[in-house]
């Protein structure tokens, strides 16, 4: 694998986790944010997460306190933050994890295409948009893949590696090897709406919101039913809060526009209303449920 230096654009919920697992995988990482305060927020989350992992490995008897601390410090030293996109120019791989808006993502890749060295591989962490559209905008569709990580990135073991009709075999193999070096199991997927997981998961979350809207069951009962009835770690309503109501709405709205006649992609009214009220879930402390930090109240 020729990938050594990795850039991650966006250091929010997903981006900070991708930065961290890439650094844990031994890569040099540049985290680029739009504003300093968001960068500081993302890096602070990484510090907290590395401290948690160190604490856990001591508790589990996997390392001494000194060794765990040294490992966390080494990982952290591989990460630099910046608000200047030019720092991405010499990266071997740049992963985009910004807001789920196709026009904004395409504009970013157009700029990155002009800025980065010709060999740089581009990847998007999009939940739902066509990789092909962003690949086209970058001007180098043959060096473009989807690398779809899952939330929380530090704990979820999967990465979907998405290839388009134009992705070169070697680029795809390198992206897959990168995902595995980050400690994930990689699955391959074609460039289809939602790839494997979200094509199944998001309509299920939307259906649960429609159930709530109709008054068929309470949020708590829907979540308890799916946890105890199916063994899922979280119910669909709590999971929507966890993912972010804004991100979920962007995903469903994007699909509604592209596939207006498919009822499984219809937008739940409740989702639209809560987003309008600024109730975005865990990230704002209120969604369907109340949250304090990472915990549901």
Instruction: List, by residue number, the catalytic residues.
Output: 127, 148, 160, 198
* Binds ligand CAA (CB under 6 A): choice among 152, 183, 193, 285: 152
Interface with ligand CAA includes 198 (CB under 6 A)?
Answer: yes
Contact 82, 8 (CB under 8 A): no
What whole-number distance in Å separates Cα of residue 62 and Cα of residue 293? 28
Number of residues that bind ligand CAA (CB under 6 A): 18
* Residue numbers at the binding site for ligand NAD (CB under 6 A): 9-15, 32-34, 38, 97-100, 108, 125-127, 150-151, 243-244, 247
Contacts of 230 (CB under 8 A, 6+ apart): none
Among the residue ranges 5-13, 144-152, 206-214, 280-288, the one whose residues contact ligand CAA (CB under 6 A): 144-152
Cβ atoms within 10 Å, residue 233: 8
What whole-number distance in Å separates Cα of residue 151 and Cα of residue 84? 26
List the single partner that 234 binds among ligand CAA, ligand NAD, none, CB under 5 to 8 Å by kind.
ligand CAA
Q: Which string of x and - marks every residue 54-73 that binds ligand CAA (by CB under 6 A)?
A: --x--x--------------
Asked whether the CA dihedral 207, 210, 214, 217 is positive or negative, the reply is positive
Contact 75, 20 (CB under 8 A): yes
* Binds ligand CAA (CB under 6 A): choice among 53, 112, 209, 222: 53
List the single partner that 59 binds among ligand NAD, ligand CAA, none, CB under 5 to 8 Å by kind.
ligand CAA
Q: Indicate the residue whose CB is closest to ligand CAA.
A: 127
CA nearest to 20, candidates 40, 55, 48: 48
List the single partner that 133 binds among ligand NAD, ligand CAA, none, CB under 5 to 8 Å by kind.
none
Contact 125, 40 (CB under 8 A): no
Contact 208, 288 (CB under 8 A): no
Strand 185-190 and strand 28-32: pairing? unpaired
Q: Phi/psi at 32 (nearest 5 deg)?
A: -115, 125
Please report how close the Cβ of residue 194 comes to ligand CAA at its closest, in angstroms. 8
Among the residue ranges 33-41, 61-69, 152-160, 274-282, the one whose residues contact ligand CAA (CB under 6 A): 152-160
Please report how close the Cβ of residue 108 comes to ligand NAD at its closest, in angstroms. 5
Contact 150, 182 (CB under 8 A): no
Nearer to ligand NAD, 100 or 133 (CB): 100
Nearer to ligand CAA, 51 or 115 (CB): 51
List the single partner that 189 binds among ligand CAA, ligand NAD, none, CB under 5 to 8 Å by kind.
none
CA nearest to 135, candidates 148, 149, 124, 147: 124
Can you say how many angstroms the Cα of residue 248 is from the centroid of all Cα atoms in its chain? 12
Please report how close the Cβ of residue 73 comes to ligand NAD at its closest, in angstroms. 25
Name the site residues for ligand CAA (rule: CB under 6 A): 49, 52-53, 56, 59, 127, 150-152, 154-156, 198, 201, 233-234, 239, 243
């Amino acid at each position: 694998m020729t990938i050594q230096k990795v850039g991650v654009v966006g250091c929010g919920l997903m981006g900070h986790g991708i930065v961290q697992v890439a650094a844990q995988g031994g890569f040099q990482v540049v985290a680029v944010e739009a504003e300093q305060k968001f960068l500081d927020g993302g890096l602070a989350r990484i510090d907290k997460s590395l401290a948690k992992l160190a604490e856990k490995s001591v508790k589990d008897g996997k390392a001494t306190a000194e060794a765990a601390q040294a490992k966390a410090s080494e990982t952290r030293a591989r990460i630099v933050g910046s608000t200047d996109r030019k720092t991405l120019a010499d990266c071997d791989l740049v992963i985009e994890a910004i807001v789920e808006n196709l026009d904004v993502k395409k504009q970013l890749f157009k700029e990155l295409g002009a800025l980065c060295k010709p060999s740089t591989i581009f990847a998007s962490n999009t939940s739902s948009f066509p990789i092909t559209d962003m690949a086209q905008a970058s001007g180098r569709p043959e060096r473009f893949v989807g690398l779809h990580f899952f939330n929380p990135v530090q704990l979820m073991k999967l990465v979907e590696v998405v290839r388009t009709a134009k992705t070169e075999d070697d680029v795809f193999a390198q992206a897959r090897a990168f995902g595995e070096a980050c400690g994930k199991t990689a699955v391959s997927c074609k460039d289809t709406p939602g790839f494997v997981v979200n094509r199944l998961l998001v309509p299920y979350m939307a259906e649960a919101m429609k159930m709530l809207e109709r008054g068929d069951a309470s949020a708590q009962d829907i979540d308890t039913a799916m946890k105890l009835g199916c063994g899922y770690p979280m119910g669909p309503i709590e999971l929507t809060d966890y993912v972010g109501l804004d991100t979920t709405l962007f995903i469903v709205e994007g699909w509604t526009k592209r596939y207006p006649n498919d009822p499984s992609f219809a937008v739940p009214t409740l989702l639209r209303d809560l987003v309008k009220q600024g109730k975005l879930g865990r990230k704002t402390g209120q969604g369907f449920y109340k949250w304090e930090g990472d915990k549901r109240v």
